[in-house]
């Protein structure tokens, strides 16, 4: 910097240098994360998360599709048991079973099985009556 520069110009030069430094640091960080496989669709994926395949998700007419899956704790609405909906289970549900993208787990496995059996019994009873 020259001594005869105005403070406004000095400040502008300092701001430009800082901005350039920030950009290079951000680019290096993004390159490192990409090398680790932690960038999907231009978004940084948290540790322990699984990248989503947007082409496999059901069409959902949303502006914010899931780009990664991360373990989500929940409490069963029937029995109150604390459970975790794992990232792997979410990937299967959204991409293989084509579940709605805004759906969440609300029942534990045993309560889901119990509910399925009750529905099946009801179906069988209604079929017999016809």
Q: Supply the DSSP string of 84-129, one letter for each residue.
A: EE-HHHHHIIIIIS---TT----S-HHHHHHHHHHHHHHHHHHHHH
CA distances from 83 to 17, 76, 77, 102 (A): 50, 7, 11, 19
Q: How much is the pLDDT for 130? A: 64
Q: What digits encode the pLDDT tens for the residues 70-95?
A: 999 999 999 999 999 999 999 999 99
* Residues 100-106, mean pLDDT to the nearest whole number: 91
Q: How big, in percent rounded to 5, are the helix, strand and coil portions of the chain?
A: 45, 10, 40
């Amino acid at each position: 910097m020259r001594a005869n520069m105005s403070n406004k110009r000095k400040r502008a030069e300092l701001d430009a240098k800082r901005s350039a430094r920030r950009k290079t640091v951000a680019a290096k960080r993004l390159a490192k994360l990409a090398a680790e496989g932690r960038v999907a669709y231009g978004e940084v994926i948290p540790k322990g998360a699984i990248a989503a395949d947007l082409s496999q998700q059901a069409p959902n007419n949303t502006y914010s599709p899931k780009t990664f899956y991360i373990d989500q704790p929940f409490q069963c609405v029937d029995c109150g048991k604390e459970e975790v909906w794992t990232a792997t289970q979410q990937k299967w549900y959204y991409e293989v079973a084509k579940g709605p993208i805004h759906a969440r787990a609300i029942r534990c496995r045993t309560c889901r099985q119990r509910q399925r059996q009750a529905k099946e019994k009801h179906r069988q009873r209604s079929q017999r009556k016809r």
